[in-house]
């Protein structure tokens, strides 16, 4: 494997001699350029090593690629026997070459190295030939650019002899007027991960897969927004951002963020009968007329309370809840439905006989159930109309009821809608009939 020492020990005839010519060329007025550019060369001798254009490209990595394109195709073997391609760099702004990248044919292959003005090899340079007329050389940024400002000036040069139009030795420098000024910027990588089902949107970002990466110029301020898919909810950022608000990242270094999404499950709650069911969270009331449908993040604990009070009875839950306990707690690990089966609480009707000494009587009911004395109380379902009939014994007289619900007639009709107390009681009065 070729190393810097191998190149150092090799013969670089003519390489260091470039600095004499390049030093003079670098004193030419500079022409500021930025980004990725190509400069055409005005010389046109049509030689295989005469420069047609030079250019550079930088993607924010560790190396900047410099290219040299000739007017005519050439073989890599042409760069031998003193034929050389070089790039000169001025990193401190004094218009003197500080570094030289040399490309020549060595050991059967195109080789490149970055050197000092004294010919000391500092590092290898990656050499490629995209086509028969182009040489591309990847030069480490740290060796040629001003570290504080990320800029430098440069030009390219070829040295060749005994070629068409050049019977002895020719030197071509490009660009012909001034220098190319590189103002580099560093690109930092933003990695965006998706946990769950959703997408992240931002400048040059539309990420809906597990991981995306985008490169931005260092210092760029990036605003990211998380958008959940239907049936999912965004639960927050992790990594370079936290919380659930918009993620704002300043690309002063490589950053990574993860948008976390959780599935939302639906809880349907209805009431088969009277009364209410309270769902917490979010403390919503559900009834037969207004059933509820709530969405929850997976794993949410939900408490359902059947608010029966004194007027209603929970006969039992069906669906995700069972039993007759008015409080049911479920965990939302899927779509669920619950029905509260309720009815109005039955009321007990009690009859007490108010009988004067020597008097007597009895009370019967329709529907049947009360035949007092003997059977003086009976539970009735809600809204049942119960007719009580008071009948005095022989020698006795009915004088009335002790209840606001009954008139002073032997027949009293009661509607058994439950009261706050839940039950009702009445008492007829009987006295001895006078003769």
pLDDT digits (tens, 9 = 90+) for 332-355: 999 999 999 998 877 888 888 888
Q: Which residues does 361 contact at the CB level (< 8 Å), separation at least 6?
A: 353, 355, 390, 391, 392, 393, 396, 398, 428, 430
pLDDT, residue 162, reads: 64
**Statement: residue 108 has pLDDT above 90:** no
Q: Which burial class, exposed, middle or buried, applies to 149 when counting CB atoms under 10 A from its CB (0-12, 13-18, 19+)?
A: exposed
Residue 331 predicted with pLDDT over 90: yes
Cβ pair 24, 179 in contact under 8 A: no
pLDDT exceeds 60 at position 136: yes
Contact of 267 with 304, CB cutoff 8 Å: no
Nearest 5 degrees, angle CA 143-CA 146-CA 152?
Answer: 90
Q: Pull the structure tokens for residue 261.
A: 């999404």
Q: Does 109 score more than 80 pLDDT? A: yes
- Whether the predicted pLDDT of 15 surpasses 60: no
Contact of 358 with 432, CB cutoff 8 Å: yes
Least confident of 30-34, 44-48, 214-218: 30-34
What pLDDT shows up at residue 38? 59
Question: Is pLDDT above 70 for 6?
Answer: no
| 35 has pLDDT over 60 | no
Task: For residues 326 and 276, give the distance between their C-alpha atoms in angstroms, rounded to a whole number.
Answer: 11
Beta strands 411-415 and 385-392, pairing class = antiparallel
pLDDT value at residue 23 = 47
- pLDDT for position 46: 63
Cis before 194 (ω within 30): no
The string of pLDDT tens digits covering residues 370-420 is: 999 999 999 887 778 899 999 999 988 998 888 888 888 999 998 887 655
At CA 18, angle to CA 13 and CA 22, rounded to 5? 175
CB atoms within 10 A of CB 77: 11
**Cα Rg of the chain, angstroms:** 49
> pLDDT band for position 323 (50/70/90)?
very high
Per 3-state DSSP, what percentage of the chain is helix, strand, and coil (rounded to 5)? 5, 55, 40
What is the Cα–Cα distance from 178 to 29, expressed in whole angstroms? 5
Lowest mean pLDDT among 23-27, 186-190, 241-245, 415-419: 23-27
Question: What is residue 30's DSSP assignment?
Answer: P
Tell how strand 255-272 and strand 336-344 pair up: parallel
Three-state DSSP at 309 gives: coil
- CA–CA separation, 281 vs 300, rounded Å? 9
75-89, 211-225, 228-242, 391-405 — most confident range: 228-242
> pLDDT at position 7, please?
52
362 pLDDT higher than 90? yes
State the first-to-last Cα distance of the chain, in angstroms, to the nearest integer: 141
> Model pTM greater than 0.85?
no
What pLDDT, on a 0 to 100 scale, did the predictor assign at position 167?
67
Strands of 108-150, DSSP E: 109-115, 121-124, 126-131, 134-140
Q: What is the mean pLDDT of residues 46-53?
A: 81
What confidence category does residue 164 fall into, taking pLDDT thresholds of 50, 70 and 90? Answer: low
93 versus 42: the higher-pLDDT residue is 93
Residue 309 has pLDDT above 50, yes or no: yes
What rounded mean pLDDT belongs to the chain?
84
Q: Calculate ∠ Cα 65-67-70, nearest 5°.
A: 170
What pLDDT score does 30 carry?
40
User: Residue 422: pLDDT band by 50, 70, 90 thresholds?
Assistant: low
Q: Under 8 Å CB-to-CB from 221, ≥6 apart: which residues?
A: 248, 249, 250, 251
Give the mean pLDDT of 278-284. 94
Q: What pLDDT is attached to residue 27?
A: 42
Say what the pLDDT of residue 191 is: 95
The answer on pLDDT for 427 being more than 80 is yes
Residue in 257, 224, 223 with CA at minimum distance from that of residue 240: 257
Residue bearing the bigger pLDDT, 182 or 271: 271
pLDDT score at 205 = 87
Position 150 pLDDT exceeds 80? no
What pLDDT is attached to residue 138?
A: 94
Q: Give the pLDDT confidence score for residue 163 in this predicted structure.
A: 65
Determine the length of the chain.
435
Q: What is the pLDDT of residue 105?
A: 87
Q: What's residue 343's pLDDT?
A: 85
pLDDT over threshold 50, residue 317: yes
The answer for residues whose C-beta is within 8 angstroms of residue 36's C-beta and 6 or more apart is 55, 56, 57, 58
- Side-chain-side CA neighbours of residue 179 (13 Å): 27
The mean per-residue pLDDT over the stretch 179-207 comes to 88
Higher pLDDT: 239 or 81? It is 239
**Contact assessment for residue 152 and residue 89, using Cβ atoms and an 8 Å cutoff:** yes
DSSP 89: E
What phi and psi, each to the nearest 5 degrees, are found at residue 375?
Answer: -120, 100
Q: What value, to the nearest 5°, has the Cα angle with vertex 419 and ends 414 and 421? A: 125
Q: Which residues contact 380 (CB under 8 A, 6 or more apart)?
A: 346, 347, 348, 349, 367, 369, 386, 416
- Euclidean distance between CA atoms 260 and 157, whole angstroms: 54
């Amino acid at each position: 494997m070729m190393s810097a020492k191998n190149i150092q020990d090799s013969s670089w005839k003519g390489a260091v001699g470039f600095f004499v010519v390049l030093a003079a060329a670098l004193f030419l007025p500079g022409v500021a350029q930025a980004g990725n550019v190509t400069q055409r060369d005005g010389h046109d001798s049509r030689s295989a090593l005469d420069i047609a254009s030079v250019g550079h490209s930088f993607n924010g990595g560790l190396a900047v690629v410099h290219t040299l394109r000739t007017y005519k195709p050439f073989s890599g073997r042409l760069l031998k026997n003193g034929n050389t391609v070089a790039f000169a760099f001025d990193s401190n702004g004094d218009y003197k070459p500080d570094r030289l990248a040399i490309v020549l044919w060595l050991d059967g292959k195109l080789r490149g190295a970055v050197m000092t003005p004294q010919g000391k090899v500092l590092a290898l340079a990656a050499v490629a030939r995209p086509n028969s007329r182009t040489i591309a050389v990847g030069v480490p940024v740290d060796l040629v650019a001003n570290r504080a400002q990320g800029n430098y000036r440069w030009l390219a040069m070829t040295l060749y002899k005994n070629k068409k139009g050049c019977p002895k030795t020719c030197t071509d420098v490009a660009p012909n007027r001034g220098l190319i000024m590189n103002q580099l910027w560093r690109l930092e990588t933003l990695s965006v991960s998706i946990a769950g089902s959703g997408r992240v949107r931002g400048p040059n970002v539309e990420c809906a897969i597990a991981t995306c990466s985008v490169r931005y110029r260092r210092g760029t301020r990036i605003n990211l927004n998380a958008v959940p898919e239907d049936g999912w909810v965004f639960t927050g950022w992790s990594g370079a951002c936290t919380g659930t608000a918009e993620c704002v990242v300043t690309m002063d270094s490589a950053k990574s963020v993860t948008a976390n999404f959780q599935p939302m499950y639906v809880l349907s709650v209805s009431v088969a009968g009277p009364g209410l069911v309270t769902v917490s969270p979010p403390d919503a009331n559900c009834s037969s007329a207004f059933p509820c449908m709530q969405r929850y993040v997976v794993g949410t604990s939900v408490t359902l309370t059947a608010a029966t009070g004194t007027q209603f009875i929970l006969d039992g839950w069906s669906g995700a809840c069972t039993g007759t306990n008015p409080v049911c707690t479920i965990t939302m690990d899927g779509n669920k439905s619950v029905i509260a089966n309720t009815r109005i609480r039955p009321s007990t009707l009690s009859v007490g006989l108010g009988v004067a000494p020597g008097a007597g009587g009895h009370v019967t009911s329709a529907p049947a159930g009360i035949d007092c004395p003997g059977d003086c109380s009976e539970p009735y379902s809600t809204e049942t109309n119960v007719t009580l009939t008071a009948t005095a014994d022989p020698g006795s007289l009915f004088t009335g009821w002790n209840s606001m619900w009954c008139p002073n007639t032997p027949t009293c009709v009661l509607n058994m809608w439950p009261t706050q107390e839940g039950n009702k009681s009445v008492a007829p009065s009987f006295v001895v009939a006078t003769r």
